[in-house]
Amino acid sequence: MVVKRVALGLAASAAAGLVYSAGYEVRSYRLRRFDVPVLGPGSRPLRVLHLSDLHLTPGHRGRAAWVRRLAALEPDLVVNTGDNLAHPEAIPTVLDALGPLLRVPGVFVFGSNDYFGPRPKNPARYLLPLERIRHQNARDHADAVDLPWKELRDEFRSAGWLDLTNNRGALTVDGRRLTFAGVDDPHLGRDRLDEIAGPAPGDADLAVGVAHAPYLRVLDAFQRDGYRLLLAGHTHGGQICLPGVGALVTNCDLDAARAKGVSRHPRPGGAGAAWMHVSAGLGTSPYARVRFACPPEATLLTLTGER
């Protein structure tokens, strides 16, 4: 009888946790703020809005409205690290969400969910070993619906955003020259590091490396080439976390302690180490609408002078 009561109690707790995570936390959007000392000493601050993993469908009007209101932050630069789409007809929703932010200087890369439509899967799949996840993802993408990523790319480009898909480029932002290197989604093995290899320009105020998924091979290459700020998404911050413990997995080979937030790369910080921000993102797959102890987020990074 005691065992039965314990089992029922555990089942009730699990059910309550599922209702909370799927019914409340997945819509509990947060703005996180960090100061990152990557500019030259004495530089005035530069405000960067980092967006990732929107995973929008035509029905996500609340999420789109929340993102649209972020324009009131008046960022100097927007960095979009991919996985904008979760439906073949979601482009109008994405453009509505980004709306006024598309008038701000911006850069972007795409993730797997910009290319391929989501498929039903177990939300706990992210807890599997990485090689098994890769194998199952490859099977999913083999017969997945192609999403209209080219149309989204053209919309971003026409707004003036810099396409960093295996590409390098530069922007003048608030009177500062920023140089960038970016790769296509490393989670799909589409990164082409040889196409962007080489030292970051030494005459820029800041060199930034951008990727959807923060795989170590990409982070290491950016850091070796002198990129001082690294930005990525993809991890969903672990998506299912334990209070007081944090992320259990990252869905890539990045360590779980850096599944979201600001850190140094490589760890521990030292000579030549870059600053890195990994966004926990704003959405989930529509077939895995669960977040636990990991609210959806966008991030405002205030870049400051080195101390």
pLDDT of 287 above 70: yes
User: What three-state secondary structure class fits 219?
Assistant: helix
Contacts of residue 121, defined as CB under 8 A and 6 or more positions apart, other chains included, come to 136, 140, 285, 287, 288
Q: Is the pLDDT of residue 137 over 70?
A: no
The residue-averaged pLDDT of 53-71 equals 98
Distance (Å, whole) CA 78 – CA 99: 12
Yes or no: say if 150 and 115 are a contact pair by the CB < 8 Å rule. no
pLDDT digits (tens, 9 = 90+) for 291-303: 999 999 999 999 9
**One-letter amino acid for residue 228 of the chain:** R
Tell me the H-state helices in the chain: 2-23, 61-68, 91-98, 112-115, 130-142, 149-158, 193-196, 216-224
Contacts of 245 (CB under 8 A, 6+ apart): none
Please state, rounded to an integer, the average pLDDT across all residues of the chain: 89
Percent of the chain with pLDDT over 70: 84
CB distance 80 to 108 below 8 Å = yes
Q: Each residue of 183-202: pLDDT tens digit?
A: 999 999 999 999 999 999 99
Q: Report the topology of domain 2-305.
A: Purple Acid Phosphatase; chain A, domain 2 (3.60.21)
DSSP state of 271: T
DSSP for 27-41, written as a single string: G--EEEEEEEEEEPT
**What's this model's pTM, rounded to 2 decimal places?**
0.89
Identify the residue whose tokens are 């026409």: 158
